[in-house]
Homo-oligomer: A and B are copies of this chain.
Amino acid sequence: MYKVGIVGASGYTGAELIRILHHHPCCKITKVYSRSLEGRLISDVFPNFLGIDLSFSDPKNDDFADLDLLFLAVPAGAATEYASRFDGKVIDLGADFRFKDPHLYEKTYGIKHQAPELLLQATYGLPELFRDKIKKSRIIGNPGCFPTSIILALAPLVKTGYAGQIIVSSLSGTSGAGRNLSDSQHFAHRNENFGPYRVGCHRHTPEIESNLANLTGQNHQVVFVPHLVPAIRGITSTIYLDRVMSLEKARELYTDFYQDEFFVRVKGPGENVESKNVIGSNFIDIQIHEDKHADKLIIVSAIDNLVKGASGQAIQNMNLLFDLPEYTALDFYPIYP
């Protein structure tokens, strides 16, 4: 039984790790950490977990002994310290290990990277694309939610050498912004309200571009606009591309590319992509459309931002690190309705 700990377990991605790992047959959460909640029961913060006997420890006073793996669900800039102090396996759900180039990280997040030497031990944790490298890494930079939905939707095409335009319009539920209170997330403001935000400057754009470049060896320019919609979970990405091949070829390309991937469901002709079809699961649904009139391919994807876009994917990476079947504890189907 592997022993794992979670630093930053009082947030939504921490809670989602706890919910899913509760069913993992080969690993057990032995420690949850929070700097402000030492001694409190997990169910004091998340009453849905009433019955789970786990109390918060302060990560400052802990040497993480006995742990086989540490999940880090902390703000950008806070993960490097833990990854330095703990020499076991680390999966960071934040941004600190998503970039190979510390300068790009610094430009994007406006803070200095505290341990650039660790980036050499780190791999971007998209299992469907970087599986072999992940297995051999000590540190995993778990991808952002938007990048997961976009990179997986683009990978088969860009790996053919696609060099055309990439314009992305993504929609997201609110849980991606976490538990921090804000006017934008106040129910009376957010319900019955939607629209774009951070137009032209979202932090996920460099993450998408640099990891596409890692994948293909080419540069790719991405226009990315996220939109907030009045739902809790879910991301859909609508990607406008040049029609470099027919719809049938594109669907064949994607079906072949992902044929052995349990978590990728390439939809058949006539089927629609909606966020609800993946909520509560680690699946990504992908559909390919064409606009013949305007000569475009339009690829659409959907994920649960807290599962495939965060904690589920982190557990998928953990399974790889522990050499377990990749879908262990993750082979559940979406909750509907």
Contact = CB atoms under 8 A, between A and B. Distances in A.
A337 B175 contact: yes
B191 A230 contact: yes
A73 interface: no
A290 B223 CA distance: 11
Contacts of A238: 169, 196, 199, 225, 227
A336 B335 CA distance: 12
Given A22-B333, A199-B300, A193 B275 contact: yes
A333 B51 contact: yes
Contacts of A194: 171, 229, 231, 234, 236, 274-275
A297 to B, nearest CB: 9
A97 interface: no
Contacts of A47: 271-272, 274, 277
Interface string A14-45: 01001100110000000000000000000000
A232 interface: yes
A64 B279 CA distance: 33
Contacts of A333: 18-19, 22, 48-49, 51-52
Contact of A240 (B18, B167, B229, B300): B167
User: Most B CB atoms within 10 A — which of A49, A182, A291?
Assistant: A291
Contacts of A195: 171, 236, 272-275, 300, 302
Given A169-B225, A193-B276, 16 more contacts: A48-B276, A50-B267, A174-B187, A175-B188, A179-B186, A185-B188, A191-B192, A193-B234, A193-B275, A194-B229, A194-B275, A195-B300, A196-B300, A221-B294, A229-B229, A230-B230
